[in-house]
Structure formats: C-alpha cells, structure tokens
Amino acid sequence: MTVRVVVLVSGTGTLLQSLIDNLPEEVTIVAVGSDQPGAVALQRAEKAGIPTFAEPLPRADADQRVTMRAAWDARLTDDVSRFDPDLVVCAGFMKLLGTTFLDRFGGRTINSHPALLPSFPGIHGPRDALDYGVKITGATVFIVDAGVDTGRILAQRAVPVLTDDTVESLHERIKVEEREMLVEVVTELAGARPGTQELGTEPSRKDPQ
C-alpha cells in the first residue's frame, strides 16, 4: 500500500529535500504546500515533479487577525484535503495550524523542532539553548496539537553544544540529525498506517555519540 504524504514548508526546503531523496518507494509525497509563494522549497518540489500549492496568510489589523487566520486555516485545510493524504509533515513550516486543520488532520500531522522538547519551544530553539547555557540540545519530531510545540513526542536526537558554537553552527549540526530523524519517523509511521491515533506510542531517542 502506498502511503500518501503532503509536506508543508516555509523556507529553503532542506528537510523536504531529505524526504524527497530518502523516503522508501512505498511513501509518496503527493504535494508540497507553503505559506510563502516564493519559497525555495517549492522549487525543489517542482524540480522533483511534485505538485505544489501556496496559501499565504494575509496581513491583517489586530481587530481582523483572528478572523483572517481562521479563514486562512480553512483554505489550507481545503488545499491539503484535495490530495487526500495519509500523513501531513510540517518540514520547516513556520505557521501554527488552527482548529479547522487539526479537526481534519489531527493525529496524523507531525512536525520537527530544533530542540529537545519540552525545552526551548518556539522559533528560536538553538538561540535559546545557547542563551540558557545547556550542554546538550537536539531535535524532536512530534504530533502537532493546538499548542506551540506541545504535541506528543515521537522521536528525539541529542546534539552536544560546543564551547565555540554560534547559533548558526549549532543549528546546522541539529539540522543534520533532524533530516535523518524525520525520514526515519515518516518511514516508521508509514508502516504503522498513518491516520490512527496509535502512531508512535513509544518515543525513540538517540543520544550524542
């Protein structure tokens, strides 16, 4: 059975490229979507012959923000639904998913994050790890819920923090682990029939060498 995957992206698409290059033939990326119409990641998908779509979130005044975001979430849900995915993978997707999306795809939408959750959630995981002075950080793959990086953890990999690390150097080493781990998790979930609430009941972890 072929497992259908939609990947959501916002940036350059290095996580996406790892999925394109390394997923087994039983897993098919049926579409790649972005909130950024000019995202390099969409070009990667097009080069690989994968259908793409863009659903930008319009700017809105404070009094319209909630309404606009809800409408965007509904449109994104419709966009993804057209491809009938078994699994949705957020690979560097920088927007929070809303109620409509999670009502449709909750339990089968996963995300990766460059920190060992629950530590350092949000968009500045590597920077926050350096600022706090931890000796080990890493990457996490988790099931998306309504919170900010609060969903059930599926896998983690630890990355040591070096004394001369910058945000950039640390983030690059985390990305190496993140790419490999995301491929492994998607492959495992594909074998476990994505779409059920029983996916990844036992988190996997890899300690630093």
Binding residues for (6R)-10-formyltetrahydrofolate: 69, 94-97, 111
- Identify the residue whose tokens are 């994505």: 194
Q: Where is the binding site, in residues?
A: 69, 94-97, 111
| Residues with catalytic function | 113
One-letter amino acid for residue 123 of the chain: I
d(CA 74, CA 40): 24
Q: Who contacts 155 (Cβ-Cβ below 8 Å, separation ≥6)? A: 140, 141, 181, 184, 185, 200, 203, 204, 205, 206
Cα 30 → chain centroid: 16
Report the candidate in 157, 161, 92, 158 with the shortest Cα–Cα distance to residue 129: 161
